[in-house]
Amino acid sequence: MYRILIIAPNWIGDAVMSQPFLAALKLNYPKAQIDVLATPWVAPIYRACPEIHSVIEAPLEHKKLQWALRKQLAQGLKAKSYQACYVLPNSFKSALIPWLANIPFRIGYRGEARFGLINFALNNPSKTERPPMVERYLALAHLLNNEGQAQNIGSPVPSLQSSAEITHTTQDKLARANIKPHALYIFCPGAEYGVTKRWPAEYFAELAKKILGQNIENQIILLGSQSDHHSGQIIAQQDPGRIHNWCGQTSLDEAMAVIGLSKTVISNDSGLMHIAAALKKSQIAIFGSSDPKHTPPLSNKAQIIWLNLPCSPCHRRECPLGHLNCLKEISPERVFNSITAE
């Protein structure tokens, strides 16, 4: 059997945007077994991709070489006799494992000084080109094809499927808390990138007040990581009985199931935004310093709110002008009107 290994990216949003690439690979090689090597952080995304046979979790850490661990992982992979490996991150260290595992075809972008480690390479697009991430990954799927001919996978839009088992468990959990999915709004107030992607917690709190005032059944669950818990508390204090701060209290698998069951998701430009899009949920995506043309939520149920100020997109983690107007000038009323206009 033809076996293909994927080295996964490190960010949730990038992992979601690699799904159309996986679908294209499966079309090109329908009998191949496609496995993915992923950190525990992004592994749940690949468990929700039907194209993937197995997810190999590896405790690799961002910006650390972990040479002994990489050698040990490569040793384990040798026994599986992969014929090809697609390396999705651009870093030097991400290309080490398939090279150490003697996988014959190692495919990726040229990236950081990876001469020899990657032996089928595409040139990186220039920073000014910045193609959408989905297209960037898709281009790799066709590199080994007959003269790069792509099979048509239709519209390259990510699509995920939450596990039925976790969905049932989550349905029970919502029922016990008397939360009705048809009246459930999800807020995702975080963004790992930095404050320039985070709409202020006080604005989320004001939006919560409007949503809860609209219908007595409405409830809100806040999703995010432990570092978003404090923002979650600011929002939840509006109405602790109907706003549930689950930031840092769910696994990513469970967060995906809750999103899948909800009515509408309101988020920043974050990994959870891309998950909501791939689950085809109605959603509002709030953009600040980033560019929605580069990493939009790929769904016809998504509404993007972006002011496109003369200073944006600046792609900075802190506002160089000190005012953060790209986010602060988006009023809770404007977001609320977008929700009710659906």
User: Would you count residue 179 as binding ligand SF4 (CB under 6 A)?
Assistant: no
Structure tokens at 114: 């990876």
- The position carrying tokens 């014959």 is 104
Start-to-end Cα distance in the chain: 48
Of 44, 288, 296, 297, the one binding ligand SF4 by CB under 6 A: 288
Give the residue with the Cβ less far from ligand SF4, 175 or 321.
321
Piece of the chain touching ligand SF4 by CB under 6 A; list 31-39, 116-124, 275-283, 309-317: 309-317
Of 173, 294, 316, 334, the one binding ligand SF4 by CB under 6 A: 316
Q: How far is the CB of 200 from ligand SF4 (least distance, A)?
A: 13
* Neighbour count for residue 14 (Cβ, 10 Å): 20
Of 83, 325, 334, 338, the one binding ligand SF4 by CB under 6 A: 325
User: Would you count residue 196 as binding ligand SF4 (CB under 6 A)?
Assistant: yes
Piece of the chain touching ligand SF4 by CB under 6 A; list 29-37, 119-127, 180-188, 316-324: 316-324
User: Would you count residue 314 as binding ligand SF4 (CB under 6 A)?
Assistant: yes
Of 52, 319, 335, 339, the one binding ligand SF4 by CB under 6 A: 319
DSSP-H helix ranges across the chain: 12-17, 19-28, 43-47, 67-78, 96-100, 133-141, 164-176, 201-214, 229-236, 252-261, 271-278, 325-328, 332-340
User: Would you count residue 321 as binding ligand SF4 (CB under 6 A)?
Assistant: yes
Q: How far is the CB of 197 from ligand SF4 (least distance, A)?
A: 9
CA gap 15, 37 in Å, rounded: 12
* Neighbour count for residue 240 (Cβ, 10 Å): 10
Give the residue with the Cβ less far from ligand SF4, 234 or 324.
324
Indicate the helix (H) or strand (E) that contains 264: strand 264-268
Piece of the chain touching ligand SF4 by CB under 6 A; list 51-59, 113-121, 127-135, 314-322: 314-322
Radius of gyration for the chain, computed over Cα atoms and rounded to the nearest angstrom = 21
Closest CA to 184 of 155, 150, 213, 211: 211
Residues that bind ligand SF4 in the complex, under the rule CB under 6 A: 196, 288-289, 309, 311-312, 314, 316, 319-321, 324-326
